[in-house]
Amino acid sequence: MKISPAEDSQAMARKVGIIAVLLAVASICEAVAIFHPISESHRSAALELFSPVAGSFSSLEEAYEALRTFEVLGIEKKPDVKDHTCNSVVDTLSLMSSNSRDLYHALRVNGLLKCEISNEALTGIVSRLKDAVKDATSLLDYYHSIGGLLLIKDQSSEVDVLLENADGTLRSIKALSQSDGRWRYSSSNPESSTRAAGLAFETISGVISLAASAIDETLIGTLKKDIMKLFDSIEKYDDGSYYFDDKHIDASGHQGPLSATSAVVRGLTAFASTSESLNIPEDKILGLARFFLGIGVPGNSKDLYYQIDTLSHLENNRVSVPLVLSLPATVLSLTSKDKLKVKVSTVLGSSAPPLSVKLMQVFSSGSKDASVLNKDLHFDPKEAIYSLDDLPEGVDIGEYVFAFEIVLSDPEYKRKFATGGRTKVPVHVTGVVKVDNAKAAVLEGDVVESEKKLDLPGKNDLALSANHLQKLRLSFMLTTPFGKPFKPHQALLKLRHETGVEHIFVVENSGRHFEITLDFLGLVEKFFYLSGQYNIDLTVGDAVMENSFLEPLGSVELDLPKAPEKATQPPPQAANPYLRYGPKAEIAHIFRAPEKRPPQEVSFAFLGLVLVPFLAFLVGLLRLGVNFKNFPTSAIPATFAILFHGGIAAVLILYVLFWLKLDLFTTLKTLGLIGIFLMFVGHRTLSHLASTSAKLKSA
């Protein structure tokens, strides 16, 4: 299929535009970022990543992570694994060899599937878990046993799960804490971990919930201070995301910020649900939410579970519920008069409380100056969208950062929800750039020899000619829809010789006026003294320029002086890589004619000569008086003698078959087997003949 120059230039223009958009987005996103709540992409990923094999998951832990993710995302059409998973739950809970970790994962799954577990069975499990609490020597022992008791409390109100010595248990767990807010997994392990701190606070909240008597308030106050110390070690990205780092590898092999931050958030929200409110700054709560939303859609099931489960805890916590401001579209077109639209929701996409959104400032990309607006956006209750009908005055095509502010309607909501102050979002405003006064001229000195107007973007067919003493000038003007000067990311002029040698020049500008003058006298060496036709292409492209173009303008015939002897030669042009897949030259091959065969009579005569020795052999046997007098007459020796002669005949037949159709390897393997057989029966036959001969001589 052939591609016309116009189609090729349009394709190149699209590539130029795409590259420019990516560069622009990358430059803006260094300072600000866009965060979106959980979407359908996460639901699709959950169904793909949590896919049971043969109707079941590999473990109860994986089953819980899948079921929990499905529950939070509200996925109704999920795999039916209840029967098989409930059987695993019942078996695990009934086995006396199951440790506290096994019981904990089984009870977590039971809390979601509601398997048929009797109160008597739960009572026995409670006894085992309470014994595990007494014998616990590590943080994970406490975490699984306390967590299991807390799950039974939620699943049955008829079973006594309260801890008599809750205060002592809590102090045993507190003994694993460190001065910097981190915790150890056991007293024998000096290494502290941020993830262990999250597990510890989640465990402590369970102890408080299971306490048969009140916990010492002084101890609770100390734990709150430990939480604040832990937040002193929190780290921050440039986009406002907060996270906890952890170099310690957990039991499942996962490590790093995702698992550590997830554990801390679960521990924080669990502890807040059993005690008075914690004074955690709302920007850090919102930053934690941004960290998990900034991940996008994870590529493995464990990370997806961490993300979804943690966001669920953030959405339903007593500290502060983060609200997310997002833009359905960050590219607005002046041509189609797009409206600025903003959506505010929770991290899981639920509706936000009554509030208003204000556009406070607009920053132009690359400039610290900002216009102060304080404009209220209109709320559409049907679509739950805040919009601005007209863009702010002075906003032309370009790259901007819009600063929004969320204002809650009810003062009581300020204690419950975290808005994070001003939210900065990158916005691209696009439009059609007007190209005026486009001209191409050939100059001799400063005098215009010939000049032609150009239609940009459009179809042009220049046919210019010049020599090395002349110049080529190209000029045009670019203005925005509001008449302002416009400087694109790319303005390039390319000259391509008929041999394939290319030369690219940057078109400089002064305000809205773009001009380039090629003095061929100073370019003869760069052009390798190549006279002939040069095709002219002009590229003008930008991320916000809707009519970016790569247009062929025509050609110029250059008459350059002959190259001197030591002049630089033009570089060899790369071969078209697609030619290797084209048709190859036809190969004509003539097979050798078969040699002439002898007449049939000669062949039969040769066969007769071959049989003469065999006939002579038979005649010789008769002359010698060959007989069978020594052939064994007894049954067993006669059998071995017959087998021996049969083996010799088999060898002769094998030789004939080798001559006709068998290959060498098959013949050798068969000959080896027959040879072993001949050794055995031949030895017996010859032994019998030797014995008979010895008896005759002695007689």
Distance between CA atoms of residues 14 and 19, nearest Å: 9
Number of neighbours of residue 489 by Cβ within 10 angstroms: 18
Strand 502-506 to 370-376 pairing: unpaired
End-to-end CA distance of the chain: 105
Distance between CA atoms of residues 365 and 29, nearest Å: 11
Q: What is the pLDDT of residues 252-264, one digit of tens each?
A: 445 689 999 999 9
**What confidence score (pLDDT) does residue 35 get?**
87
3-class secondary structure, 536: strand
The reply to whether 179 and 311 lie within a common domain is: yes
**What confidence score (pLDDT) does residue 638 get?**
87
Strands (E) across 367-510 are located at 370-376, 378-380, 385-388, 398-408, 417-418, 422-430, 434-444, 447-453, 462-467, 471-479, 490-497, 502-506, 508-510
Residue 383 is classified by DSSP as: T
**What confidence score (pLDDT) does residue 588 get?**
83
**What confidence score (pLDDT) does residue 174 get?**
93
> Bridge partners of 557?
465, 533
Distance between CA atoms of residues 573 and 595, nearest Å: 51
488 backbone dihedrals φ, ψ, rounded to 5°:
-75, 165
Are 423 and 404 spatial neighbours (Cβ–Cβ below 8 Å)? yes
Domain of 459 in residue numbering reads as 439-564
Q: For the packed helices 257-274 and 301-315, what is the interaxial angle rounded to 10 degrees?
A: 30
The reply to whether 304 and 334 lie within a common domain is: no
Q: Which two tokens stand for residue 303?
A: 């990370």
Residue at which a domain ends, from 298, 319, 340? 319
Distance between CA atoms of residues 676 and 685, nearest Å: 14
**What confidence score (pLDDT) does residue 611 get?**
87
Burial of 278 (0-12, 13-18, 19+ CB in 10 A): middle
State the Cα torsion 484-423-298-84 to the nearest 10°.
-140
The reply to whether 273 and 364 lie within a common domain is: no
DSSP letters for 570-598: PPPPPPPGGGGGSPPPPPP--PPPPPPPP
Q: Which two tokens stand for residue 156?
A: 């049955």
Q: Which two tokens stand for residue 80?
A: 């039916």
The reply to whether 292 and 338 lie within a common domain is: no
Q: Is residue 604 part of a domain?
A: no
Instruction: For the chain, give percent helix, strand, coil, nearest 5.
Output: 40, 25, 35
Radius of gyration of the chain (CA): 45
Distance between CA atoms of residues 325 and 621, nearest Å: 113
The reply to whether 147 and 21 lie within a common domain is: yes
Q: Is residue 332 part of a domain?
A: yes
Distance between CA atoms of residues 333 and 215, nearest Å: 61
What's the structural domain count of the chain?
A: 4
Residue at which a domain ends, from 409, 430, 451? 430
Q: Which two tokens stand for residue 524?
A: 């003869």
Are 274 and 224 spatial neighbours (Cβ–Cβ below 8 Å)? no
Q: Is residue 582 part of a domain?
A: no
The reply to whether 375 and 499 lie within a common domain is: no
**What confidence score (pLDDT) does residue 550 get?**
95
The reply to whether 131 and 267 lie within a common domain is: yes
Residue that has been written with the tokens 């003493």 in this structure: 469
Q: Is residue 14 part of a domain?
A: yes
Number of neighbours of residue 549 by Cβ within 10 angstroms: 20
**What confidence score (pLDDT) does residue 256 get?**
82
Residue 335 is classified by DSSP as: T
Q: Which two tokens stand for residue 362?
A: 């607009």
Q: 3-state secondary structure string, 595-610?
A: CCCCCHHHHHHHHHHH
**What confidence score (pLDDT) does residue 4 get?**
42
CA distances from 528 to 494, 520, 559, 561, 568 (A): 16, 11, 12, 10, 6
Q: Is residue 2 part of a domain?
A: no
Burial of 591 (0-12, 13-18, 19+ CB in 10 A): exposed
CA distances from 2 to 7, 445, 571, 574, 582 (A): 10, 42, 27, 20, 14
- State whether the Cα torsion 574-576-580-585 is positive or negative: negative
Per-residue exposure over 183-221, b if at least 16 CB sit within 10 Å of its own CB, e if not = bbbeeeeeebbbbbbbbbbbbbbbbbbbbeeebeeeebe
The reply to whether 68 and 124 lie within a common domain is: yes
* Domain CATH code at residue 254: 1.50.10
The reply to whether 550 and 459 lie within a common domain is: yes
Q: Residue 67's closest CA among 42, 89, 46?
A: 46
Q: Residue 526's closest CA among 503, 553, 497?
A: 503
Q: Residue 423's closest CA among 358, 517, 378?
A: 358
419 backbone dihedrals φ, ψ, rounded to 5°:
-105, -25
Q: Which two tokens stand for residue 616?
A: 């002579």
Q: Is residue 595 part of a domain?
A: no
The reply to whether 383 and 465 lie within a common domain is: no
CA-based max dimension of the chain: 142
Q: What angle do CA 234, 238, 243 make, to 5 degrees?
A: 25
* Domain CATH code at residue 390: 2.60.40.1080
Q: Which two tokens stand for residue 155?
A: 């699943």
* Domain CATH code at residue 529: 2.60.40.10
Q: Is residue 413 part of a domain?
A: yes
DSSP letters for 59-85: SHHHHHHHHHHHHHHT--S----HHHH
Q: What angle do CA 600, 602, 604 make, to 5 degrees?
A: 70
Strands (E) across 244-391 are located at 321-326, 331-333, 340-346, 355-364, 370-376, 378-380, 385-388
Residue at which a domain ends, from 266, 284, 319? 319
Question: Residue 557: which H helix or E strand, with range?
Answer: strand 549-559
Type of residue found at 345: S
Bond prior to 457 in cis (omega within 30° of 0): yes
The reply to whether 383 and 474 lie within a common domain is: no
Q: Is residue 80 part of a domain?
A: yes
**pLDDT < 70 positions in the chain:** 1-32, 247-255, 277, 366-369, 699
Are 272 and 291 spatial neighbours (Cβ–Cβ below 8 Å)? no
Residue 642 is classified by DSSP as: H
Number of neighbours of residue 319 by Cβ within 10 angstroms: 22
The reply to whether 162 and 257 lie within a common domain is: yes
Per-residue exposure over 252-265, b if at least 16 CB sit within 10 Å of its own CB, e if not = eebbbbbbbbbbbb
